[in-house]
Amino acid sequence: MSKVKETRLPYLNNTSVILITMVINLGILLITGWGRSFDLMFILIDGVISGVVTALIDVFLVRHYVDIAQKNRTLPTNLPVNRFMMKLPKNIYLFAALCALFFGLLTPLFNGIVFKYYDFDTLSLAQMLVLKVIYSYYLSAKIVELVIFRLVQPDLTGQLPDQTITTPTKHSAPRVTYFQQLFNNWMTDFGLNMFRGLIIGTTIVTDDNFVLIAPTLLRSVDTTGFISGVIVTFMTVPSVSQEIIFSVDSGKTKPLTESNPYVAWLPKNRWLLTVVLCLPIIVLTTIVYYVVMSFFGFESLNFFQFFFIRIAYTTMLVKALVPLIMFRYMQPHAV
C-alpha cells in the first residue's frame, strides 16, 4: 500500500476548483442528455467536452489562485523544479489550449475503453451521472495538480524569495517509482485474490496447467466483500500505523494538544486497531460491491472486470483510512 505522504501537491486548496468543474460538467450532461440513454458515440462526445471544459476551467482558476497565493506570500519557497514542465508554454492561453487538446483526446479514449470493457450497450442518465461524478473528480484533481506544478516553476515565478512557507513539498510529475509502486500494489492485489480463489474454490488449476477463475456473482458478493475487507484491512492498517507511529516518535509529526473523543478511544496497539477496524471495513466493502454491481446491472463480472472495480474502491478506501489512522496516533499520549 502507498506510504503516508508528509507533504503533497497542490500548494493551495483545490476543493473549490474541483467542485466548480464537476458542477459545470454535470450541468452540461443534464442539458445534453436529459430523457435519453447514452450509447458509445454519446459517451465519446461527452468525453471530449468534459476533457476540454475541465482543462480550460482548471487552468484559469488555478492561475487566479496561484497569483493570490504568490501575492500573499503563501507559496512554498522550495518548490520542485522540472525541466519538462518548463518547456510547456508560458503564455496562459497557449498552455490552456494545449491542456484542452491533450485531455480532450485522453478523456474520450478512457471513456470508450471503460464502455467496451464492461460490455455496456447503453447507460441510463443515473448511471452516467454517477460515472461522470467519479471521473470528473479524478480528472479535475489531476489536471489541477499538473497545472499548479507548471505555474509554480521558476521560469514563471522566479525563486519566490519572499514567500513564507518553508514546508517541503512533493514532486508532482509521475516518476518511475510511482509506476513501480502502482504495479506492485496491483500485483499484490492480484496475487492475494488468486490465492483467495484457490482456498474457496473459485480458482482452479487444471491437469493441463490452465488456470480457470470463476466470475464474481452478485448473489455471492457478500463472500467477496468479506474476504476483500479482511485483505484490505490487514494489508493497510498495521503498516500505515507503524509508519505514523514512527513519524510521531521521531518528531516529524506533531501530536495534537487536545484529544478527540470520537477517535481517542480506538486502541493504541496497531494490531488491536486492525481488528477493531476490520468489521466496519468488511461491512462497507460488501455494501459498496453490492451497490455497484446492482446499480450498473452486473449479475456477474469476470476476474479482470471486477479487478479494476476492486482496485478503484481500495484506492479510495485507503485514502480515507490513512487520515483516520493518522488522526488516531496524533492524539495526546497516543504512542
Condensed to tens digits (0 to 9), the pLDDT of residues 279-313 reads: 999 999 999 999 999 999 898 888 788 888 888 88
Domain boundaries, given as residue ranges, for the chain: 15-157, 176-329
- What is the model's pTM? 0.72
Please give the DSSP secondary-structure letter assigned to residue 30.
H
| Structure confidence at residue 277 (pLDDT) | 93
| Structure confidence at residue 158 (pLDDT) | 62
| Structure confidence at residue 330 (pLDDT) | 84
- Whether residue 23 contacts residue 103, with contact meaning beta carbons closer than 8 Å, is answered with no
Give Cα 73 distance to the centre of its chain.
30
113: left (phi over 0), alpha (psi -120 to 50) or beta: alpha
- Which residues of the chain fall below pLDDT 50? 1-10, 161, 165-169, 171-180, 182
Q: Any residues with CB less than 8 A from the CB of 79 and at least 6 apart, and which?
A: 11, 152, 153, 154, 157, 160, 169
| Structure confidence at residue 222 (pLDDT) | 87
Q: What H or E segment, with its residue span, contains residue 301?
A: strand 300-301
| Structure confidence at residue 83 (pLDDT) | 83
DSSP helix/strand/coil, 76 = strand
For the segment 189-230, what is each residue's pLDDT rounded down to a tens digit?
A: 666 666 666 665 566 666 666 556 667 788 888 888 888 888
Bridge partners (DSSP) listed for residue 123: 38
